[in-house]
Amino acid sequence: MPPSMMRLASAAAILALSSSVQAASKYILEKTYDYNNFFYNFGYAHSPDPSHGFVDYIHPPDSNKFAYVTQNLTIRLGVDSENKYSTTSGGRKSVRMESGDTFTHGLFVANFSHLPAPACGAWPAFWMYGPDWPNNGEIDIYESWNNATYNQVTIHTSGGSKCTLADDPSKFTGKVLSYNCDNTIDNPPTQYPGTGCSIEEATGSAAATSPFANPNGGIYAVEWTEDHIKVWSWTHDSSGLPTDIGSGNPDPSRWGLPRSALSSTLTSAATVPATTLARALPP
Active-site positions read: 138, 143
Query: Is the Cβ–Cβ distance between 78 and 281 less than 8 Å?
Result: yes
Residue 83 per-residue DSSP state: -
Checking 116-119 for CB contacts under 8 A at 24+ apart, the result is 116/1, 116/2, 116/3, 116/4, 116/5, 116/6, 116/213, 117/1, 117/213, 117/215, 118/144, 118/146, 118/147, 118/148, 118/149, 118/213, 119/3, 119/4, 119/146, 119/147
The DSSP code sequence of 160-199 is T---B----TTT-SSEEEE-B-BTT--BTTTB-TT--EEE
Query: Is the Cβ–Cβ distance between 273 and 136 less than 8 Å?
Result: yes
Return the number of other C-beta atoms located less than 10 Å from residue 11's C-beta: 23
